[in-house]
A and B are shown apart, each in its own frame.
Chain A
Amino acid sequence: MEYLKKYPKLFQWLFLLIVFFALCFAIDVPETYKFIRGQAEFVKDPNQSVYFFLGKEVRYYAFDVFWRLPPLLGWLPIWINDSLFFLMNEWMPMEFWNEDTQEFKTRPLLLEISRNLTSFMTFLIELIREILLGGLETIVAFTSWDFIDAYPWLELPGLPWTIVAAGAAILSYKLSGKGLALFAGLTMIYISIFGQWKPSMQTLSFILVAAPLSFIFGLGLGIAAYKSKRVEKALYPILLVMQTMPQYAVLVPALVLFGVGDHAAVIITMVVAVPPMILLTILGLRAIPPEVIEAGRMSGCTNWQLMFKVLIPTARRDILIGVNQVIMVCFSMAVISAFIGAKGLGFNLLLALNQLNIGLALEAGLCISLIAILLDKMSLAWANKQTDYFGNLSFYQRNKNVIFFAASFVIGIILAYVGTFIFKGSFNYLFEIPHNKGISTADFWNKGVDWIFDTFFVYIKAFNTWLIQDVLQPMRALYLRMPAVATLVLAVGAGYLIGGIRSALVVAALTLFIALSPWWDRALVTLYMATFGVVISCLIGFTVGTLCFQNKKSAAFMLGVCDIFQTFPSFVYLIPVMMLFGITDTSVLIAVIVYATIPATRYTIEGLRSVPVGLHEAATMSGVNKFQRLTKIEFPLAFPHMMLGLNQTIVFALFMVIIGAFIGTEDLGQYILKALSDKNGAGIGLTLGICVAFIGLIFDNLIRTWVEKRKKHLGIA
């Protein structure tokens, strides 16, 4: 009894667990139950139950409601799908003027909007692409095909790669200095001589459209939300779901609305990249000290001046993190959107992965990562740039960068011209090194992979078999063994114990949505993979973080490493694991672990760092040793922040698990991937995405509520 009074929470948790396990044991697995591997099994089985809702037929295997809830939301994907089709093809037909046929034509409004948006995006992408690579679409857009036939010399020749490389280096020099210039130059040269020029420039042109547009939209919406509570309230739930929605899932609806191609990729990238930009803009603007705003007002700023000369620059730090996020999302989407027909490095990467050509995949992945890092550093340098008012510079000094670029432009063209003589009859390497005609180390890597495989095959296989048979399979079976009611009780109970009625209701709603969707089993498999990944990631991350924290230099070093790793598009992580473990669940899980360890490590170090110095000194003066200080003072105080790290880890892990479907898993991701090639996939993809997002949000809600309470309790809110 004494213990009961001392630790009431502990006993409440114990009670919850007892109820959970009691339910698990009390409810038997129905004999007819089996894990549904593919949709084909679904179609023609006479044992299925059927119900109709809103005129949609939903088929499912009926079980005892305690074991699995019936998919009462099964109509939702179909309904979303039909609605989309209706909106696109039948809703609000209007007369639109057609330039080509010179007459009015009746078209549904949304279709017309989508077409216009599409052609606008395509134009932007083509414009940049043709400056870099040459072509005639842009000229045609302003004139006509007849015109270009009459004047064929108007076709843009594209810039020789030497000029682009020099331009990138000079721009980097102007923005930051020698270091970045060197990096930019080397990156460009690497891309070129490895024969990745064309796909790289295609990707670059895609990014140069998507990133600025995302930035502008994100900033604009962020400002709107900052100014108006109503806008913020309307945006907030969407932002929350988008933060945890796997990027795959948005691809499918985009396919329906905008078709296949680079333009759809840009639009979908914006959908993914804008939410974090909005959130960080709001965060930054909210954190501005009121006196700075008053100082701006007293300087006589108009509202416009106040926003753009005072507020945004002052909130620069957070907005820059937003820009960084936008760039990272753009690059990871550059790969993912290859699924819906975006050209460039991402397409090559996917192709190489599909062919199991690890060497090629590695080269393409490296290109993406290098360009990502370069653009990130350049945007950072641009924002931190200073003006020199007192230099008294000469004309040459002021314009030397322009002069240098002009010079390199001329030299580049001369080189390209000379190149036509040197490389007669073959490719002009001084103009553009064609794809796959450069140096390639792919063979080397492939041989290396083969060698690793041949040499260590036995060990890798043994490890693989052990992991899958003795750890993963039983774990998966356990997760699937949970009756739906037990899971619900556990989730809602945890919500109640952590955050009271409010949390319990939120968690209940989110869990019920998944339980009532047709994919509960799949969600359990997703959860099992994510759990495995998160547990290992946290173990590694917390340990590494704690060890690195012991020394200032190693902590800074580790944070730097985290930064670099975060810059890699998520797909790149699949390359090395496929090198080692081939196409198995192990590969996916290891990729998950590597990817999700980043936030775990980062937040551990940051959390430990945020412990006030005064407390350190107080502890030292109380005569604690290093270990005691860590366990008694630093951990308890840093724990809330570390839990936020756990939250991030879960989101990262879920993302990677879903992407892992590309290798082949049996979770929600597999169905999302399938939905991509299904003509009725939009609703399915979206609903699946929402399911994944809700898994993330359940944990997000629980962890955030707990952290807030804890922080208040510790007085560090």
Chain B
Amino acid sequence: MSETVIKCESVYKIFGENAKKMLEESNGNVDAKTFQEKGCIVGVNNASFEVAKGEMLVVMGLSGSGKSTLLRCISRLTDATGGKIFIEGQDLLELNNKELIELRRNKMGMVFQSFALLPHKTVVENIAFPLQIKGTNTEDSINRAMEMVKLVGLDGRENYFPRELSGGQQQRVGIARSLAVEPDIWFLDEPFSALDPLIRKEMQDEFLRLQEKLQKTIMFITHDFDEALKLADRIAIMKDGIIEQLDTPAKIVLNPATEYVRKFTEEVPREKVLIIEDVMDASSKDNLGDLKVSKDEIIENVAEKILTQEKLVGVVDSNNNIVGSIKPSKIIDTVFGGRKNGS
């Protein structure tokens, strides 16, 4: 894995008056219930993880699971109660106000669930806002904002006010604004949750297209498991402030760590998530048939071809070396069988 951009070491966020003191006394064993009895609410409980450069980490959880709080700790919109957060090796909690503002002006961009556009500014003014805050002159900032308008496909609407735009269009403005300063780190807090399903799908595709082009380091918050599977390099599933499991989509679907995670994976169409490598048998490489498939193919795309075979199908890597094999019956197992017994 390449260099680490975001690093969290047992981050806690506890709301309440004596939160800090209580956390110190608990020696890192935070139990939500005992804390609640004493009037404190646990938002984030012992979160440790790393996000690498160019990686997209999706944090998934239901409402109240602490996912937004975690994001706000890392963007330091709220101060974490305990633990350490490093952004490109810099200790975030040690930064003074001025350094923090510098960091946000140059390194971070954030997109919000309810768009959070400034109602008194037009599309282009909204997008130019972070630049103008930085001190860029009007002409340069407006020119740069116009580039962003084109990037998110809002040309011709640059002089509209947010209230004159649809939800999807407003979020395009939000995305453009967060990208205007060319940040390295991109935070997205349920950006598509307030949108209609059709628009949401469109925006997700658009988002993937953008990410392919920009290769940002991303933390993406969602409550939609399907969205997480579709977008994520890795998924962190949160419940009651605790990260239940953090892994690639395929591994989560194949090996849910807890009962809670398994419930989410039950309804997931595996053939759309898993790749051949996840289900192949790496030990047997003999008696192969004629058909060979790449280990990186998603099962859905090759299932039909494999199912027509009677012999074992060879699995190859990118250099065309055989790395394993797969039985046609294994495909049927994966798609239909495995669901009931949860393996």
Interface residues in chain A, defined as those with a beta carbon under 8 Å from any beta carbon in chain B: 289, 291-292, 294-295, 297-302, 305, 309-310, 313-314, 316, 386-387, 389-390
Contact = CB atoms under 8 A, between A and B. Distances in A.
Contact of A300 (B102, B113, B124): B102
A316 B110 CA distance: 24
Contact of A299 (B72, B104, B119): B104
Contacts of B187: 298
Contacts of B102: 300
B105 interface: yes
B112 A389 contact: no
A521 B101 CA distance: 63
B119 A314 contact: yes
B116 A295 contact: yes
A621 to B, nearest CB: 26
18 contacts: A289-B116, A291-B116, A292-B116, A294-B72, A294-B77, A297-B77, A297-B104, A298-B178, A300-B105, A300-B106, A300-B130, A302-B101, A310-B118, A314-B118, A387-B125, A389-B124, A389-B142, A390-B159
Main secondary structure of the interface of A (DSSP, over half): helix
Interface string B110-134: 1011111111111011000110011
B109 interface: yes
Nearest to A290: B116
Nearest to B131: A299
Contacts of B114: 289, 291
Contacts of B45: none
A336 to B, nearest CB: 35
Nearest to B130: A299
B108 interface: yes
Contacts of A390: 158-159
B112 A291 contact: yes
Contacts of A291: 112-116
B65 interface: no
Given A298-B178, A316-B119, 9 more contacts: A289-B114, A291-B114, A294-B116, A295-B112, A297-B77, A300-B134, A301-B133, A314-B119, A386-B122
A195 to B, nearest CB: 42
A559 B178 CA distance: 41
Given A300-B130, A301-B133, A309-B133, A292 B118 contact: yes
A482 B132 CA distance: 67
Interface string B178-204: 100100000100000000000000000
Given A291-B116, A310-B118, A298 B133 contact: no
Contacts of B130: 299-300
Contacts of A313: 118-121
B174 to A, nearest CB: 8
A386 B119 CA distance: 12
Nearest to A297: B77
Contacts of B105: 299-300
Contacts of B69: none
Contacts of A310: 118
B133 A300 contact: yes
A305 B75 contact: no
A287 to B, nearest CB: 12
B142 A298 contact: no
B86 to A, nearest CB: 19
B100 to A, nearest CB: 9
A7 B180 CA distance: 63
B12 to A, nearest CB: 21
A291 B190 CA distance: 12
A292 B126 CA distance: 12
Interface string B300-337: 00000000000000000000000000000000000000
Contact of B77 (A289, A298, A302, A386): A298
A289 B114 CA distance: 9
A303 to B, nearest CB: 8
A311 to B, nearest CB: 10
Interface string B128-144: 01100110001000100
Interface string B71-108: 01001010000000000000000000000011011101
Contacts of B77: 294, 297-298
A701 to B, nearest CB: 32
Looking at B133, B159, B187, which has the most chain A CB atoms within 10 Å of its CB?
A: B133
